[in-house]
Structure 1
């Protein structure tokens, strides 16, 4: 546990399926039953990769924050390691919400979800399924797997197929997964090989990181068919879309089209690239806008008596 002048960070965990998700809970000092925002990362990311920076700032504004790591990644449990299952990750979000609702040190009636990149897509999906939530934030969100695959290019997309086939064989035989890099240099075999992908991931890693730049290849086809943006129109409460106008991973034009279908959607544009959102001046702009949004909607929600 670590303390600051304005918040306390607790190491917590919650069950998801037969596994355990590890998380941090940031509690604002001197606030009784604060509202809470749940933060989840992008493709293969763990909470150490700058989710703490956002969570700390939200706590400083009087909003409790839970930053968690998905099963199969980081210090959360789950075998095999580095397995990215969209359905399991969505179940992790549900488990995080259930955990928050059961806590006595936060207001479980005022909950927001916050996701970045692939997690931004999850936040849209979760928000569309959970009408009891108060607000949502989708940061440089992955909204359409087909659009992202087309942006990557057909040649790059075809490159992953042998790895996917090998991984399916391994799965059928009960062997260890066949891995593929999450991020790689341009032209390389990786889920993301835009020029800013690999340096973007590396810039988010703390010195003692155990991050593994690989994932079970079987996820590739499921990413292409995952289109969370199609559910934006079902979200009845406020949701903030933070869009990178130079996004190399999630085409901004497609994201904006989906965002405009959300009945209470708010859209903000930024010049920074997909991987620049977490640090420096772009981070300051984003966290300021997001804090204002969350404060405005969580504070105005019905406070538990």
Structure 2
């Protein structure tokens, strides 16, 4: 029998602005349950299947906070579609502070869960918080240069005129110059793998359409972002879920970084990057993740 859950609309402050979120609570919990914080990838919002993972965790007795970054979805932040690594990491910190301040969850038993670009963020934040109990990194972005090479350098170079125009817009106070987050191979976009555009369409609900745009100024910071290096600094258990045929966040660099971790569990899945969110792969993945989180978030678990 599947346990019931309760979903609450909540929000928390980050940099003086509001991030909107859903808090999933196991129904009928006698004592405050442990909690996992979930964040998405490039341009993703909580409606894009974070709710599916969060609900399954709550059904297993683990509260879950699924949030949307500032500048995206229904969270605050202007200009819209500003993809800032620094601000998104602040949002993760705001989410942590929020769950620790609530009486209906156990703020001493907290884990992180991040997917794709959010997987890189989860590793970065985890390395700063040794008091956490566990972290799940799902098809994580671990190395900007490696991801750019997977996209093909020539397609990355197509972004440069947009980056320059957006930086000029920043200085002059004009609206951002945006590029598509996902595009077809050969087109201009942050992700041009064959499965990127169909993948976003697959995980976006009809009533909350995906806004396929991000301020171009983020490109240099993505290239320089290497959160995989943080794995060696994480002292508690890490579950790294790797897509064998990942065309967005290549498996090779992630597997190499994982060898530097102190307490990593690595599992490889026969699936593409976007296959993780739906169907039979999702069922296998979320079952593995639930078992991992339950083992390390229980009162006597190994943190």
Matching residue of 2:63: 64
Matching residue of 2:92: 93
Matching residue of 2:141: 142
Matching residue of 2:24: 26
Structure 1 residue 223 displacement after superposition = 0.3
CA contact (8 A) 2:116 2:139 kept: yes
Matching residue of 1:83: 82
Partners of 1:38 and 1:15 in 2: CA distance: 15
Alignment of 1:264-303 (within 5 A): 264-301=263-300
CA contact (8 A) 1:134 1:301 kept: no
Paired residue secondary structure (2:184): coil
**TM-score computed with the length of structure 1 as normaliser:** 0.97
Partners of 1:302 and 1:217 in 2: CA distance: 43
Matching residue of 1:104: 103
Matching residue of 1:256: 255
2:182 aligned with 1:205: no
Structure 1 residue 302 displacement after superposition = 6.9
Matching residue of 1:8: 6
> Tell me, which stretches of 5 or more residues in structure 2 are unaligned?
none
Paired residue secondary structure (1:77): coil
Partners of 1:61 and 1:6 in 2: CA distance: 9
Structure 1 residue 151 displacement after superposition = 1.3
CA contact (8 A) 1:243 1:269 kept: yes
CA contact (8 A) 2:3 2:26 kept: no
2:183 aligned with 1:184: yes
Structure 1 residue 128 displacement after superposition = 0.6
Paired residue secondary structure (1:185): coil
Partners of 1:234 and 1:114 in 2: CA distance: 17
Partners of 1:259 and 1:43 in 2: CA distance: 22
Structure 1 residue 301 displacement after superposition = 4.3
Partners of 1:168 and 1:292 in 2: CA distance: 45
**TM-score computed with the length of structure 2 as normaliser:** 0.97
**How many positions carry a matched residue from both structures?**
300
CA contact (8 A) 1:37 1:65 kept: yes
Paired residue secondary structure (2:298): helix
Paired residue secondary structure (2:191): coil
Structure 1 residue 256 displacement after superposition = 0.5
Paired residue secondary structure (1:109): coil
Q: Deviations along 1:89-143, whole A, 9 cap, x unmatched?
A: 0010001000111000000000000000000000110111111111000000000
Structure 1 residue 45 displacement after superposition = 0.2
Structure 1 residues 177, 301: closer, same or farther in 2, change over 3 A? farther
CA contact (8 A) 2:113 2:137 kept: yes
Q: Deviations along 1:209-243, whole A, 9 cap, x unmatched?
A: 14210000000110000000011000000010000
Paired residue secondary structure (1:249): coil
Structure 1 residues 87, 30: closer, same or farther in 2, change over 3 A? same
Paired residue secondary structure (1:286): helix
Partners of 1:295 and 1:43 in 2: CA distance: 28
CA contact (8 A) 2:109 2:132 kept: yes
